[in-house]
């Protein structure tokens, strides 16, 4: 395909995904906004008022970045796994696959939808957080880099899940049994320095810990782990997941009936 035609195809897929997020905002944006507001109210306001400062910051200030990151992770993943699987289910994906559209265009197009939803929800949650506490910015470039990379990683992860899923129920297995536990155990609501040594070391195996702490460092300038390890890990995950999805689409794994 010519470069112009590839661009038009990519734009068409991305536009469809972005417009879906905006058109169905009561389903794609509102639930997360309400849920995260409840987290701020219950954990930050009610429970947080009884918790001592962490790293020189109030508990509410400490958990904001973790809650934002949790919203970004969940929405980026959910958006792509649902839309791509639906395209498989109704056979509309086959029309794209038999066309001369390059596989990378399909991957990037669907991922843009997930990234857009993740970032939009993240911004909404940050605005909600302003009703509960003031925010400071330690390093805006770290904030932007981490939120973009995390949204990209989980958009590609959602696509991977959708490729292998054969039933609607299978699109929820990974988020329920793996993603949600790892997120809650990833330092969203606590610092791992508060844990016994054994659990601190075990926590270091959780990749989401590095994502949450890297994002938190961008706001507060504190982190339980090396920020650059987290950044490097995200870059490798983006590259690895992209090429894995590219390979699966090329081989037709999970797509051929």
pLDDT, tens only, 129-180? 999 999 999 999 999 999 999 999 999 999 999 999 988 888 888 898 999 9
The arithmetic mean of pLDDT across residues 230-246, rounded, is 98
* pLDDT per position as a tens digit, 52-104: 889 889 999 999 999 999 999 999 999 999 999 999 888 888 888 888 889 99
Q: Does this model's pTM top 0.75?
A: yes
Say if CB 28 and CB 117 are below 8 A apart: yes
């Amino acid at each position: 395909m010519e470069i112009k035609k590839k661009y038009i195809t990519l734009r068409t897929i991305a536009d469809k995904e972005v417009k879906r997020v905006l058109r169905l905002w009561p389903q794609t944006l509102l639930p997360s906004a309400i849920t995260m507001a409840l987290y701020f109210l219950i954990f930050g306001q009610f429970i947080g008022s009884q918790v001592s400062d962490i790293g020189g910051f109030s508990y509410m200030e400490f958990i904001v970045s973790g809650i934002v990151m949790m919203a970004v992770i969940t929405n980026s993943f959910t958006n792509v796994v649902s839309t791509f699987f639906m395209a498989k289910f109704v056979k509309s994906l086959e029309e794209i696959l038999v066309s001369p559209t390059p596989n990378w265009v399909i991957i990037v197009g669907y991922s843009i939808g997930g990234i857009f939803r993740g970032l939009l929800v993240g911004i909404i949650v940050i605005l909600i957080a302003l009703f509960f506490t003031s925010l400071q910015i330690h390093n805006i470039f770290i904030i932007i880099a981490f939120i973009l990379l995390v949204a990209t990683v989980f958009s590609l992860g959602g696509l991977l899940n959708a490729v292998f899923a054969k039933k609607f129920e299978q699109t929820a297995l990974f988020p329920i049994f793996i993603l949600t536990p790892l997120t809650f155990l990833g330092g969203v609501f606590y610092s791992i320095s508060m844990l016994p040594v054994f659990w601190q070391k075990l926590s270091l195996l959780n990749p989401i810990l590095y994502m949450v702490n890297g994002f938190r460092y961008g706001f507060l300038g504190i982190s339980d782990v090396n920020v650059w390890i987290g950044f490097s890990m995200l870059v490798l995950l983006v590259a690895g997941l992209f090429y894995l999805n590219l390979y699966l689409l090329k081989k037709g794994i999970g797509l051929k009936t």
